[in-house]
Amino acid sequence: MDLTKEEILPYGHHVAKLDYRKILDRCADRPDGKYIDVTAITPTPLGEGKSTSVMGLVQGLGKRDKSVVGAIRQPSGGPTMNIKGSAAGGGRSQCIPLNEFSLGLTGDINSIMNAHNLGMVALTARMQHEANYTDAQLAQRNLKRLDIHPKKIQFSWIIDFCAQALRNITIGIGGKMDGPTIQSSFAIAVSSELMAILAIANDLADMRARIAKVVVAYDKQDRPITTADLEVDGAMTAWMVQAINPNLMQTLEGQPVLVHAGPFANIAIGQSSVIADRVGLKIAGYNVTESGFGADIGFEKFWNLKCRFSGNKPNCAVIVATIRALKCHGGAPIPVPGKPMPEEYAKENVGWVEEGCKNLLHHINTVKKAGINPVVCINAFYTDRPNEIKAVKRICEHAGARVAVSTHWEHGGDGALEFADAVIDACEEKNDFKFLYELDTPLEKRIELIAKEVYGADGVSYTPEARTKLTQLAKDPEMAELGTCMVKTHLSLSHDPKLKGVPKGWTLPIRDILTYKGAGFVVPVAGAISLMPGTGSDPAYRRVDVDLQTGRVKGVF
Amino acid sequence: MDLTKEEILPYGHHVAKLDYRKILDRCADRPDGKYIDVTAITPTPLGEGKSTSVMGLVQGLGKRDKSVVGAIRQPSGGPTMNIKGSAAGGGRSQCIPLNEFSLGLTGDINSIMNAHNLGMVALTARMQHEANYTDAQLAQRNLKRLDIHPKKIQFSWIIDFCAQALRNITIGIGGKMDGPTIQSSFAIAVSSELMAILAIANDLADMRARIAKVVVAYDKQDRPITTADLEVDGAMTAWMVQAINPNLMQTLEGQPVLVHAGPFANIAIGQSSVIADRVGLKIAGYNVTESGFGADIGFEKFWNLKCRFSGNKPNCAVIVATIRALKCHGGAPIPVPGKPMPEEYAKENVGWVEEGCKNLLHHINTVKKAGINPVVCINAFYTDRPNEIKAVKRICEHAGARVAVSTHWEHGGDGALEFADAVIDACEEKNDFKFLYELDTPLEKRIELIAKEVYGADGVSYTPEARTKLTQLAKDPEMAELGTCMVKTHLSLSHDPKLKGVPKGWTLPIRDILTYKGAGFVVPVAGAISLMPGTGSDPAYRRVDVDLQTGRVKGVF
Q: Which domains does chain B have, with CATH numbers?
A: 5-107+243-428 (3.40.50.300), 109-234 (3.30.1510.10), 443-526 (3.10.410.10)
Residue B523's DSSP bridge partners are B514
Nearest to A164 among B128, B157, B238 (CB): B128
Question: Are the C-beta atoms of A6 and A19 separated by less than 8 Å?
Answer: yes
Rounded to an integer, the average pLDDT of B532-536 is 95
Q: What amino acid positions of B are annotated as catalytic residues?
A: 50, 52, 73, 84, 265, 293, 381, 409
CB contact under 8 Å between A159 and B117, yes or no, is yes
Question: B51-78 pLDDT, tens per residue?
Answer: 999 999 999 999 999 999 999 999 999 9
**Four-residue CA torsion sign, A43, A262, A256, A303:** positive
- Residue B134: pLDDT band (50, 70, 90) is very high
For residue B124, give how far its alpha carbon lies from the nearest alpha carbon of chain A (Å). Answer: 6
Contacts of A18 in chain B (CB under 8 A): none
Query: Quick check: A87 pLDDT over 80?
Result: no
Residue A84 has pLDDT above 80, yes or no: no
Q: Is the pLDDT of residue A547 over 80?
A: yes
**DSSP notation for A382-421:** TT--HHHHHHHHHHHHHTT-EEEEE-HHHHGGGGGHHHHH
User: Is the distance from CB of B519 to CB of B193 less than 8 angstroms?
Assistant: yes
Give Cα A330 to chain centroid, integer Å: 27
**Per-residue confidence at A95, pLDDT binned at 50, 70, 90?**
very high
Catalytic residue among A22, A63, A64, A84: A84
Which residues of chain A make contact with B128, given a CB cutoff of 8 A?
Answer: 164-165, 534
- Which residues of A define the annotated binding site for ATP? 44-51
Q: Which residues of B touch A535 (CB under 8 A)?
A: 121-122, 125
Q: Do B169 and A164 touch (CB under 8 A)?
A: no
> Are A234 and B551 within 8 A, CB to CB?
no
> Are the C-beta atoms of B301 and B270 separated by less than 8 Å?
yes
Per the residue annotation, which of A50, A208, A278, A301 is the catalytic one? A50
Average pLDDT score, chain B: 95
Confidence class for position B247, pLDDT limits 50, 70, 90: very high
Q: Is it the case that residue B557 has pLDDT exceeding 90?
A: no
**For range B423-452, the mean pLDDT:** 96
Interface-testing mutation among B19, B111, B114, with chain A (most A C-beta atoms within 10 A): B114
DSSP three-state, residue B350? helix
Q: What is the mean pLDDT of chain A?
A: 95
- What pLDDT does B1 receive? 85
Q: Which one is catalytic: A16, A40, A122, A265?
A: A265
Q: What pLDDT, on a 0 to 100 scale, did the predictor assign at position B527?
A: 81
Sheet bearing A521-526, strands edge to edge: A459-462, A507-516, A521-526, A483-484
The binding site of A consists of 44-51
Q: Tell how strand A15-18 and strand B68-72 pair up.
A: unpaired
Nearest Cα residue in chain A from B108: A107
Distances B96 to B67, B99, B105, B463, B557 between C-alpha atoms, Å? 19, 8, 11, 45, 11
Q: Do B169 and A167 touch (CB under 8 A)?
A: no
Query: Is residue A47 pLDDT above 80, yes or no?
Result: no
A129: nearest CB among B167, B537, B545: B537
B44 is in an annotated binding site: yes
According to the model, what pLDDT value does residue A46 have? Answer: 73
A537–B121 CB contact, under 8 Å: no
What is the full DSSP assignment across A82-119? Answer: III---SEETTEEEE-HHHHHTTTTSHHHHHHHHHHHH
Least confident of A110-124, B335-349, B492-506: B335-349
In terms of C-beta distances under 8 Å and separation of at least 24 residues, what long-range contacts does A468-477 make, across chains too? A469/A512, A469/A513, A469/A515, A470/A443, A470/A444, A470/A513, A473/A443, A473/A513, A473/A515, A473/A522, A474/A442, A474/A443, A474/A444
The reported pLDDT for the residue numbered B336 is: 83
Distance CA B295, CA A156 (A): 42
Q: How far apart are CA A318 and CA A377, in angstroms?
A: 7
Question: pLDDT at residue A151 above 90?
Answer: yes
**Cα distance between residue B229 and residue B212, in whole Å:** 8
Name every chain B residue with its beta carbon within 8 A of the beta carbon of A238: 103, 544-546, 553, 555-556
The nearest CA of chain A is from the CA of B114 a distance in Å of: 8
The CA distance from B169 to the nearest CA of chain A, in Å, is 5
A169/chain B closest Cα distance in angstroms: 5
For residue A96, pLDDT over 70 is answered with yes
Look up A208 and say whether it is catalytic. Answer: no
Q: For the residues B152-157, what does the mean pLDDT come to?
A: 96
Q: Cis omega before residue A180 (within 30°)? A: no
What was the pLDDT predicted at B266?
82
Kindly indicate the confidence band of residue B85, based on its pLDDT and cuts at 50, 70 and 90.
low
Contacts of A141 in chain B (CB under 8 A): 537-538
* Helical pair B417-428 and B50-63, crossing angle rounded to 10 deg: 80
Is residue A300 exposed (0-12), middle (13-18) or buried (19+ Cβ within 10 Å)? buried
For residue A418, name the pLDDT band (cuts at 50, 70, 90). Answer: very high
Q: How far is CA B197 from CA B19, B24, B306, B438, in A?
A: 18, 19, 11, 21
**pTM (2 decimals)?**
0.96
Per-residue pLDDT at B502: 94
How far is Cα A91 from Cα A111, in angstroms, rounded to an integer? 32
The CB-based long-range contact list for B330-335 (8 Å cut-off, 24+ gap) reads B330/B354, B330/B355, B330/B356, B330/B357, B330/B358, B330/B501, B331/B355, B331/B356, B331/B501, B334/B44, B334/B45, B334/B500, B335/B44, B335/B45, B335/B46
Considering only CA atoms, which of B336, B316, B527 is closest in space to residue B422?
B316
A178–B164 C-beta distance less than 8 A: yes
Enumerate the residues of chain A whose CB falls inside 8 A of the CB of residue B166: 157, 171
Interface touch A546/B21, C-beta < 8 Å: no
When scoring B76, B99, B229, B535 by the number of chain A Cβ atoms within 10 A, the one with the most, hence best to mutate, is: B535
pLDDT digits (tens, 9 = 90+) for A364-414: 999 999 999 999 999 999 889 999 999 999 999 999 999 999 999 999 999
Share of chain B above pLDDT 70, in %: 99
Determine if residue B51 is labeled as part of a ligand binding site: yes
Query: What angle, rounded to 10 degrees, do the helices at A350-369 and A323-330 form?
Result: 100
Q: Left (φ > 0), alpha (ψ -120 to 50) or beta: where does B261 sit?
A: left
Indicate if A88 belongs to the active site.
Answer: no
CB A214 within 8 A of CB A119: yes
The residues, any chain, with a CB within 8 Å of residue B257's CB and separated by 6 or more, are B55, B58, B69, B70, B71, B72, B88, B95, B248, B249, B250, B251
Q: Do B535 and A120 touch (CB under 8 A)?
A: no
Give just the sign of the alpha carbon dihedral A161, A164, A168, A174: negative
Is A416 annotated as catalytic? no
Residue A339's pLDDT is: 82
Beta-bridged to residue B39, according to DSSP, are B319
Cα distance between residue B338 and residue A178, in whole Å: 25
What is the per-residue pLDDT for A510?
97
> Which one from A239, A309, A409, A506 is the annotated catalytic residue?
A409
Contact B238 A21 (CB under 8 A): no
List pLDDT tens digits, range B12-61: 999 999 999 999 999 999 999 999 999 999 988 777 889 999 999 999 99
Q: Which sign, positive or negative, has the C-alpha torsion B191, B130, A84, A163?
A: negative
Per-residue pLDDT, averaged over A115-128, amounts to 98
What is the distance, to the nearest Å, from the Cα of residue B274 to the centroid of all Cα atoms in its chain?
Answer: 12
CB contact under 8 A, B125 and A238: no
Return the pLDDT at B86.
Answer: 67
**Distance of alpha carbon B266 from alpha carbon B76, whole angstroms:** 14
Distance CA(A167)–CA(A181), nearest Å, equals 17
ipTM: 0.95
Residues contacting residue A400 through CB under 8 Å, at least 6 positions apart: A364, A368
Rounded percentage of chain A residues whose pLDDT exceeds 70: 99
Active site residue A210: no
B48 annotated to bind ligand? yes
Among the listed residues B271, B183, B307, B192, the one whose alpha carbon sits nearest the alpha carbon of residue B239: B192
With beta carbons under 8 A apart, name residues in chain B contacting A117.
159, 161, 163
Task: Flag whether pLDDT at A486 surpasses 70.
Answer: yes
pLDDT(A85) > 90: no
B343 is in an annotated binding site: no
Residue B494 assigned to a binding site: no
| pLDDT band, residue A292 (cuts 50/70/90) | confident
A vs B, Cβ pairs < 8 A, gives: 255
